[in-house]
Structure 1
């Protein structure tokens, strides 16, 4: 398989940025000022040019294989939405290979069993990933709203339609079971972030932070695209700096 493309900007310790269903520019653009002090390494997942298309479908297991060689230098990793699944799969297989993990609103619905809102998020999310534009129109719009798409009341914008079509056939999020125990046991510093726009996302993030022994932060104002929310970039940088200090102290 051809290698994926990683575009780097800035100087300083590397921060590997792994996007989800939206591309790197949409997801991580607001973090650009951090390049004055950090090397921002923008991963382009398969299907997002200039990386090659997937051979069959978007798949978090394939993402994990793509990410594995990028972890050799022990970067900090910041991942969003579907991109968290591949990130955690890769990190769980080699937990000592990441300096820290920042995880933003991942679709790890299994962490909150018997919750009707989380169950609905999983059901409609998997339906949209399976059927694309052929999914139930009401559920499609509901899901798009939950994942931050700007859709309004009229016809879906061309860019949104293109994204839904690109995602069709994606491996369902309900199949992901990353090795969270391995990451926690390795003592990896973890920050779990959400945007306070949907109860299901908040509950999943609470559960993930608990499972990983991580810190929790909430930044309203940008919906699912938490990186654009007021105060997030500052909180992230504080966490990255504290992670460097913490790991250095623990290794003495």
Structure 2
């Protein structure tokens, strides 16, 4: 059986759209809800550059941090793996080999990731950061070469509005839940998608079949077929 490293390498051969096509078929959505197919909308690459043509795909398991409003009571989880060890900063708990996924309370204007945090993550071996909120100190973040995707920027430090609440817990990114160990797929061309860890093997099994069907459709259209007829001929139910 392939290792997780081998599986992530296989994913490099596909696009975020390919992943979402597979998830659209595999995920069961509650009645009346819109399928999201893992798409994490409106994330922008800020580091090491905003030029998407110069960025590689970033694919790694998620480790998670949930920030809370500064005015909220401190979280006091019964499981110590969800809290922060005494005498440490939250970023000291960042996990090597993962993409740090940060949930920031909606509507805040401060940043939850800055230059010092990015430098610490880089030192610890973090693969990158995905921030459902704002970042700052772009010059410092880019200088340390940590890949960072976020929704926006700020000049204001975290302590103005937010504080770390929990780690290693499910987080919500624009209405899509991400759990520790889920695979984050940052595609500089097509966007960001999250693969639930329990669906990774099924996604890897299904994607080649879907891509092969679409390749046949494209070839038929290039030869003059209508899209309707090409879909009818080559898009079979899986």
TM-score, structure 2 as length reference: 0.25
> Taking CA–CA contacts closer than 8 Å with sequence separation of 6 or more, which of the two structures ends up with the larger relative contact order?
2
Query: Larger strand proportion, structure 1 or 2?
Result: 2
Between structure 1 and structure 2, the one with the greater Rg is 2
